[in-house]
Amino acid sequence: MWARLWRSWKTRGRVRFMVLIFGERNGTREKKKSREISEAKHGLEAMSLARQNIQSELTEAIRSRTELQCVIDDLRNIGLREGNKRENLETELAKINSEITNRQGALASLLPEWETRRNSEATEKRRFDQANVQLQALYAKAGRATRFRTKAERDKFLKQEIESLKTHSQTQQQNLQFSRTQIEDTKRSIVEVDQQIVDIQKKIEDGRQRVANLSEQTSGLREQHLKLIEERKDLWREDTKLESLVGRAADEMRTAERQLASMMDKDTGMGLRAVDKIAERYNLTGVYGPLYRLFEVTDHRYNIAIELTAGNSLFHVVVDNDETASKVLDAMLRDKTGRVTFMPINRLKPKNPPLPNDGDAIPILEKLRYDNTHAKAFQQVFGKTCVCKDLTVATAYVKSHGINTITLDGDKVDRKGALTGGFHDIRRSRIEAIKAVSSWRSKYEQDHNKSKETKAAIAEFDQRITQLAGQMSVLAAQQNQIREARERLISEGAMLSKEKEKLTGRLEKLENDVQELETELANLQTKNAGYEAELKTPMAQSLSAEEQSLIETLGVEVEQKRKELVELAKAKNSLESKKNSIEIELNERLRRRREELQTRIDLLTEPEDTSETADDLEGRLKELESLENLIQALSTRSQNLERETDNLSTELQNLNKSLEELQTQQLDDGRNITRQQKVTERYLAKRQMLVGRKEECNRNIRDLGVLPEEAFEKYTNERPDRLVRKLHSVSEGLKKFAHVNKKAFEQYNNFTKQRDQLLERREDLDNSARSIEELVEVLDQRKDEAIERTFKQVASNFEEVFEKLVPAGRGRLIIQRRIDRDEDLEEDNEETQASSIDNYTGVSIKVSFNSKVDEGLRIQQLSGGQKSLVALATVFAIQKCDPAPFYLFDEIDANLDAQYRTAVACKLIFDFPLPPVVDILMLVRPAMIQSLSSTAQFIVTTFRPEMLVTADKFYGVLFNNQKVSSIRPIRREEAMEFVDQEAQAR
């Protein structure tokens, strides 16, 4: 029966939801087209951005090419000028070298002759000096012949001269030896300087070679640097493209997550986000995530069935064990973030019935793809459900196998017999939303990982480029160091050359000094020999003939040698002048010019500004070639992007056109649906009318009463027209019996059944009434007993308390009855009270303050202070029966006499008080209820001193100028002083 009702409802539902389903399909197609248009627009924007970037790079490359061409032209012109300049410098250097060679050859041919002349001059000068010395010695001897009178005087003088000559000869001999030593040292120094000059020349050549090698290395590094820069530009373009894709994927993922979050409650969404953050924060590998992230649907036709089967279980968080769930839950409780349901795998024990092995019932787990680690969670949620083709088959499998079933449309049949289902809006499908989130998250992670890899590659290229730039800087610094070192070496070489010239001049001077010393020593020896020979000869007044002849000979020889010496000096000076002029020209002009030319050629070969070298020109040419290739590649890429952009624009136009057609079709379909809906409504109205007529016919049939069974079989095969005629004749015949009650028998049966039912109900009601009356009697009896018991207890407590407060008096509580109107009669019958409370009308009090035997006074006859005392006794009596946690008394001693205030105060034990300035507040416990002192407390306000005697804590209520009250603790003395002041003021 339920299945028939369900199918009927589904049939009416399909008619009712036909418009929605059709609109939904159109909406799905429109949404798909819109998504395609959005993707096409994004692709077009990305391509436009890439095209703009490529165009800007192309423009920059063209500008760089133009600048580079200008630089290359300048370098070529500079190279030509430098080439001509270098050629001229090399020609001049060759000329200078040739001239130096000629001068060195001339100097080499002139030096032997100059040496010969100098030696000849030295020899002749020594001979001249010897002859001149001999001549002077003869003249001196002739002069001594007239100077000294005796031989002794002469010999003494000669000896003195000989001794002086010996001393001078020794001194000159030492000077000669010293000069010769200086000559040897000077020669060694010249050799050392020559060796240093040779070493410096070698170092200069090595520096030139090292600079050339460093230039080659710099050129290679520059090529690598340019290549890496171009590769980095490609990575920059790729990174820009990936950032655009990552941004779009992030936006789409957030949109999909918001759509998915709208399908769950706010607390669950917050909880899921919190679980992800906590798992990442604490590195919890056992948190697998919500169930919807852990599976994929292999067939999209089962999306509705899977979604409705799982329900909110899609958002349950799967963890490995309950300990992990406890950790996450503790963190969520600390952070107060959302609410989730956990599924610890170690606690899941799914008990799934055996599923049918038939094509009509497909286990829903077969349509899911998941990890075996999470198998228990999926068996818990989906293990008891199979997918069937329709409700009939689903109901049959539920009865036969005891499983849950569901159709592809989402109609579920539970094992307990419940049928659920109906319209399901696929536009709000959780599975589709989950699929969209998973898809965009996967795309986002993929693009994000690619972007991270690209950024890492860019960072690596930056490091490599920086390293190459650093290496080039190091090489440039090394080149500069080598140049500076070479300049220093050149300066040192110049200084050494000057030092060599100085040493050479000194050597010549020392050699001349040696020659002069040798000549002088020879003359000294000759003179010494003459003096010794004269010592051996006797004293004579004149020279001998031989000596006279020798003087004449020596005079002629001296004059002749003087003339020869002059001639030799002239020849030597002429050669020396030529030698000096050649040496000066070599040292001061030719060699200096050669060094200058060599330096200028070196500077042209290895300039400090590497941008003007021939190697740099080659590098610039290679860079220009790279730029040409880059421009060609960028142009090709720009053309390809332009074609792709045109294709995308065309595709976008086609999609917009298709969307417009789809929207137009949707409008037409909407109008058709509206028209069909109107037609359907007319048919439904007609159907409703026919149903009404059918119900009217059924009502007429029921009015006919009970029909015999043959009425349902007799006219089964009759034709309708004949039945109509027969019905008309029968109806005419029934009109004769219109006054007869045709439903009397049926009414009699109905009334009989109603009477029996009413009798049964009356019997049940009577039984219920008797039970209620018995219950009321029991409750009344219990109430009477409770009232009487309570009154007796309170009356006994009252007598006891009153006797404690007024030892000389007596007090009683008397219950009043309706029959005891007369006071005398009440007094006589006070000991005999009825068991029922119906006659109770109230409670009266009789007290006596000065006698225990007097009949006492009624409450109306007492003074105000006595009434207050009686009221306190009543409160204390009730408190002993049913103690309260505390009691608040507001100036209970105001109307009491002094003796009663003292009695009340003495009978109260103060636990703690409260302060006065307007009032004195105290918290007290009565002494007579010492057993309840742990639970009952009394707060008292007073202006009397008697209450303050036994108190141990006081508080004063103060008023300031703004009429705002405040409370502060005070001492007993302050409270007594305030009470005394108040008493005097009154």
Whole-number pLDDT of residue 424 = 58
Residue 551, pLDDT above cutoff 80: no
Whole-number pLDDT of residue 15 = 42
- Cite the beta strand spans of 408-547 per DSSP E: 412-413, 419-420
Mean pLDDT of 466-470: 89
Residue 515, pLDDT above cutoff 80: no
- For the sheet containing 404-407, what is the strand order? 361-363, 385-388, 404-407, 412-413, 419-420
Sign of the Cα torsion 589, 595, 598, 604 reads negative
Q: For residue 827, name the pLDDT band (cuts at 50, 70, 90).
A: very low
More confident residue, 749 or 712: 749
Cβ neighbours, 10 Å, residue 22: 16
Residue 557, pLDDT above cutoff 70: yes
Burial class of residue 499 in the structure, from the number of CB atoms within 10 Å of its CB (0-12 exposed, 13-18 middle, 19+ buried)? middle
Residue 268, pLDDT above cutoff 90: no
How many Cα atoms sit within 13 Å of 257 on the Cβ side? 15
Neighbouring residues of 242: CB distance < 8 A, sequence distance ≥ 6: 447, 450, 451, 454
Torsions phi, psi for 405 (to 5 deg): -130, 160
Please check whether residue 324 is in contact with residue 284, taking contact to mean a CB–CB distance below 8 angstroms: yes
Residue 818, pLDDT above cutoff 80: no
The Cα 823–Cα 920 span in angstroms is 43
pLDDT digits (tens, 9 = 90+) for 354-386: 888 777 888 888 889 899 888 889 988 988 899
Whole-number pLDDT of residue 829 = 47
The single-letter DSSP state of residue 589 is: I
The Cα 855–Cα 155 span in angstroms is 194
Question: How far, in Å, are 64, 219, 616 from residue 611 at the CA level?
Answer: 16, 11, 6
The Cα 520–Cα 532 span in angstroms is 18
Q: For residue 569, name the pLDDT band (cuts at 50, 70, 90).
A: confident
Whole-number pLDDT of residue 766 = 92
Please check whether residue 365 is in contact with residue 384, taking contact to mean a CB–CB distance below 8 angstroms: no
The Cα 871–Cα 856 span in angstroms is 16
The Cα 937–Cα 271 span in angstroms is 50
More confident residue, 868 or 275: 275
Beta bridge partners of 858: 846
Whole-number pLDDT of residue 255 = 84
Mean pLDDT of 945-952: 71
Residue 318, pLDDT above cutoff 90: yes
Please check whether residue 879 is in contact with residue 929, taking contact to mean a CB–CB distance below 8 angstroms: yes
- Mean pLDDT for the chain? 77
The Cα 152–Cα 142 span in angstroms is 16
The Cα 712–Cα 707 span in angstroms is 8
Cβ neighbours, 10 Å, residue 536: 7
**Minimum mean pLDDT among 19-28, 198-207, 527-536, 889-898: which range?**
19-28
Query: CA-based angle 465:470:473, to the nearest 5?
Result: 125
- From 431, 483, 770, select the one nearest 605 (Cα to Cα): 483
Residue 982, pLDDT above cutoff 80: no
For the chain, what percent of residues have pLDDT higher than 90?
3
The single-letter DSSP state of residue 358 is: B
Mean pLDDT of 429-449: 82
For the chain, what percent of residues have pLDDT higher than 70?
81
Residue 187, pLDDT above cutoff 80: yes
Residue 7, pLDDT above cutoff 50: no
Residue 54, pLDDT above cutoff 80: no
**Minimum mean pLDDT among 578-592, 755-769, 869-883: which range?**
578-592
- For the sheet containing 287-290, what is the strand order? 287-290, 317-319, 342-344
Helix (H, G, I), strand (E, B) or coil at 481: helix
Neighbouring residues of 800: CB distance < 8 A, sequence distance ≥ 6: 877, 928
Whole-number pLDDT of residue 344 = 92
Residue showing tokens 């000057």: 498
Mean pLDDT of 590-619: 62
Helix (H, G, I), strand (E, B) or coil at 389: coil
Mean pLDDT of 203-215: 82
The residue type found at 912 is F
Residue 249, pLDDT above cutoff 70: yes
Greatest CA separation found in the chain? 231
Mean pLDDT of 197-211: 83
Whole-number pLDDT of residue 765 = 92
Neighbouring residues of 73: CB distance < 8 A, sequence distance ≥ 6: none
Residue 416, pLDDT above cutoff 60: yes
Q: Could you tell me the pTM of the whole model?
A: 0.45
**Minimum mean pLDDT among 710-724, 803-817, 842-856: which range?**
710-724
The residue type found at 411 is D
Mean pLDDT of 777-788: 86
Whole-number pLDDT of residue 604 = 63
Q: For residue 206, name the pLDDT band (cuts at 50, 70, 90).
A: confident
Neighbouring residues of 168: CB distance < 8 A, sequence distance ≥ 6: 524
Mean pLDDT of 761-779: 91
Residue showing tokens 């958002």: 315
